[in-house]
């Protein structure tokens, strides 16, 4: 989730760019989204399956699991200004440059993000709105939104998901220090009385340094305030749900992390049903971000969390596609303000179909394959697994075999229907990527 943008660059990057040129050689002159026309260019890669999801705003429905969770986080941070509804189209400058992402960061690649054209993209994270929000003078804020990433297909990844960003700004002088000391003492007192076991890391370390521009004492106080505030959020969200049978305390673990727009940076994990689960990323905001927003004499922390990830845990929702279901058997199970356990209403058999093929010279990235499948089969696809990847020793030709699991969330899918959809996937694979079916 939060580490998504930290993925390492694949050596296939060059090939992928070439494929895009081929794949969209017949692109329309413009694409329209939310009533606006965007002239296309070689970076345009938004698909209709993705465009159809824009504007659904699931987290704004108070009795949808994402809406319930959104309300819980907002009420925890009750004196923060909670913003919703910002349009998803941003510039690459907002999404990356404003947050000090290096020019060659893999998140910028057309294989990882959705572009309308080279100057407009779907935000990949809510952090894209940090500079404008700080610039408006907000000192304690939350911002919730849909975010978009090209990614693998499985039960916990979907190309559209929702994040909540939060930040708190302090004055960098004596006034900020006094506010921090008081707030830290209050939060530490509350946490000391709660059933929570925290595995911490040092606030600052040689591998997770404070910023040169910061007074080291103040930077530590801000990092500490960040940790206390988020430990307290974890207790609000998971306290009643994650303790073991014998009423064991909630276990929260802090890990050093890296984000281009914070230092020191951390990830937070919660121990739930025998596993450590990554919940959010956070850190002390890079001073450049506040400088870009023209916020002088201030220091801030920020965090970003993925709503689906947490909702899947809290409501026991087994598949991320369910959030998009309009089936009353799903929607009617939830009530505003309440965490309840999802009861699966039906189980349909999985229907596996393989496709194996020789690649054309342009190659084929897994994410390109997944988007093609998503665009053709929509939500009938449950998961896609690469089961064979092989290069012939003599001819040097490469082949791949993917196994697609077709399975509807809402109804029984016949083998004939799965065959028909699979045939469409194969046809568009040949057409768009010039592969030779084996």
Helix (DSSP H) and strand (DSSP E) numbers for the chain: 12, 17
Residues in region 281-340 near ligand DAH by CB under 6 A: 281-283, 302-304
111, burial (CB in 10 Å: exposed 0-12, middle 13-18, buried 19+)? buried
Q: Which are the contacts of 85, defined by CB distance < 8 A and separation ≥ 6?
A: 57, 60, 145
Contact between 227 and ligand DAH by CB under 6 A: the answer reads: no
Q: Which stretch binds ligand DAH (CB under 6 A): 2-10, 64-72, 331-339, 353-361?
A: 2-10
- Judged by beta carbon, residue 161 or residue 271, the one nearer ligand DAH is 161
Specify the long-range contacts of residues 20-28, CB closer than 8 Å, at least 24 apart.
20/45, 20/110, 22/362, 22/432, 22/433, 22/434, 23/368, 23/432, 23/433
Q: Considering the complex, what minimum distance in angstroms separates the CB of residue 234 from ligand DAH?
A: 16
Contact between 125 and ligand DAH by CB under 6 A: the answer reads: yes
Q: Considering the complex, what minimum distance in angstroms separates the CB of residue 283 from ligand DAH?
A: 4
Q: Which are the contacts of 356, defined by CB distance < 8 A and separation ≥ 6?
A: 388, 399, 400, 401, 402, 437, 438
- Judged by beta carbon, residue 176 or residue 264, the one nearer ligand DAH is 264
> Which tokens go with 139?
């000192």
How many residues make up the chain in this entry? 438
Contact between 96 and ligand DAH by CB under 6 A: the answer reads: no
CA-based nearest residue to 367, from 13, 8, 2, 92 = 13
Residue spans of beta strands (DSSP E) within 138-191:
140-148, 160-171
**Proportion of the chain in helix, strand, coil states, percent, rounded to 5:** 35, 25, 40
SS3 322: helix
Contact between 165 and ligand DAH by CB under 6 A: the answer reads: yes
Contact between 127 and ligand DAH by CB under 6 A: the answer reads: yes
Sign of the CA dihedral with 78 first, then 79, 80, and 86 last: positive
The single residue listed with the structure tokens 């705003």 is 57
- Judged by beta carbon, residue 219 or residue 377, the one nearer ligand DAH is 219
Contact between 170 and ligand DAH by CB under 6 A: the answer reads: no
- Judged by beta carbon, residue 259 or residue 369, the one nearer ligand DAH is 259
- Judged by beta carbon, residue 232 or residue 286, the one nearer ligand DAH is 286
393, burial (CB in 10 Å: exposed 0-12, middle 13-18, buried 19+)? exposed
Contact between 141 and ligand DAH by CB under 6 A: the answer reads: no
Binding track over 244-263 against ligand DAH, x by CB under 6 A: ---------------x--x-
Measured between alpha carbons, how far is 3 from 194 in angstroms, rounded to an integer? Answer: 29
Q: Considering the complex, what minimum distance in angstroms separates the CB of residue 68 from ligand DAH?
A: 22
Q: Considering the complex, what minimum distance in angstroms separates the CB of residue 303 from ligand DAH?
A: 5
- Judged by beta carbon, residue 131 or residue 180, the one nearer ligand DAH is 131
- Judged by beta carbon, residue 208 or residue 262, the one nearer ligand DAH is 262
- Judged by beta carbon, residue 205 or residue 414, the one nearer ligand DAH is 205
Q: Which of 2, 224, 225, 263 lies at the binding interface for ligand DAH (CB under 6 A)? A: 2
Contact between 4 and ligand DAH by CB under 6 A: the answer reads: yes
Contact between 172 and ligand DAH by CB under 6 A: the answer reads: no
Q: Considering the complex, what minimum distance in angstroms separates the CB of residue 119 from ligand DAH?
A: 21
Q: Considering the complex, what minimum distance in angstroms separates the CB of residue 126 from ligand DAH?
A: 7
Sign of the CA dihedral with 426 first, then 430, 435, and 438 last: positive
Which residue's CB atom is positioned nearest to ligand DAH? 304
CA-based nearest residue to 127, from 313, 283, 311 = 283
- The number of residues that bind ligand DAH (CB under 6 A) is 14
Q: Considering the complex, what minimum distance in angstroms separates the CB of residue 95 from ligand DAH?
A: 10
Order of strands across the sheet that contains 381-391:
381-391, 398-406, 351-358, 436-437
Site residues, ligand DAH (CB under 6 A)? 2, 4-5, 125, 127, 165, 259, 262, 281-283, 302-304
């Amino acid at each position: 989730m939060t580490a998504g943008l930290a993925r390492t660059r694949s050596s296939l990057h060059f090939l992928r760019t070439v494929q895009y040129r081929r794949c969209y050689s017949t692109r329309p002159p413009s694409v329209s989204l939310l009533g606006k026309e965007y002239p296309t260019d070689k970076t345009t890669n938004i698909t209709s399956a993705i465009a159809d999801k824009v504007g659904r705003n699931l987290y704004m429905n108070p009795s949808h699991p994402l809406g319930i969770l959104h309300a819980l986080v907002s009420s925890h941070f009750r004196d923060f200004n909670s913003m919703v509804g910002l349009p998803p189209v941003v510039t690459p400058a907002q999404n990356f440059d404003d947050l000090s992402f290096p020019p060659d960061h893999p998140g910028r690649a057309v294989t990882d993000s959705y572009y309308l054209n080279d100057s407009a993209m779907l935000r990949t994270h809510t952090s894209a709105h940090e500079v404008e929000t700080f610039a408006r003078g907000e000192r304690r804020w939350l911002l919730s939104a849909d975010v978009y990433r090209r990614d693998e297909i499985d039960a916990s990844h979907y190309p559209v998901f929702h994040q909540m960003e939060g930040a708190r700004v302090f004055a960098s002088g004596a006034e900020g220090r006094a506010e921090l000391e008081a707030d830290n003492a209050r939060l530490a007192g509350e946490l000391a009385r709660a059933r929570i076991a925290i595995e911490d890391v040092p606030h600052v370390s040689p591998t997770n340094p404070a910023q040169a521009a910061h007074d080291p004492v103040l930077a530590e106080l801000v990092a500490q305030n960040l940790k206390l505030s988020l430990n307290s959020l974890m207790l609000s969200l998971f306290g009643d749900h994650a303790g073991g049978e014998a009423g064991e305390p909630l276990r929260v673990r802090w890990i050093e992390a890296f984000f281009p727009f914070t230092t020191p940076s951390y990830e937070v994990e919660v121990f739930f049903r025998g596993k450590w689960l990554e919940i959010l990323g956070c850190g002390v905001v890079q001073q450049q971000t506040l400088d870009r927003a023209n916020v002088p004499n201030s220091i801030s922390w920020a965090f970003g969390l993925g709503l689906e990830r947490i909702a899947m845990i809290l409501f026991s929702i087994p598949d991320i596609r369910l959030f998009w279901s309009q089936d009353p058997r799903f929607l009617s199970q939830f009530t505003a303000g309440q965490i309840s356990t999802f009861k699966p209403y039906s189980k349909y058999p999985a229907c596996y179909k393989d496709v194996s093929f020789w690649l054309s010279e342009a190659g084929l990235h897994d994410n390109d394959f997944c988007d093609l499948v998503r665009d053709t089969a929509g939500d009938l696809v449950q998961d896609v697994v690469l089961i064979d990847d092989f290069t012939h020793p003599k001819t040097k030709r490469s082949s791949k075999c993917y196994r697609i699991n077709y399975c509807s969330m809402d109804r029984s899918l016949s083998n004939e229907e799965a065959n028909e959809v699979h045939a469409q996937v194969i046809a568009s694979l040949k057409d768009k990527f010039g592969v030779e079916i084996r």
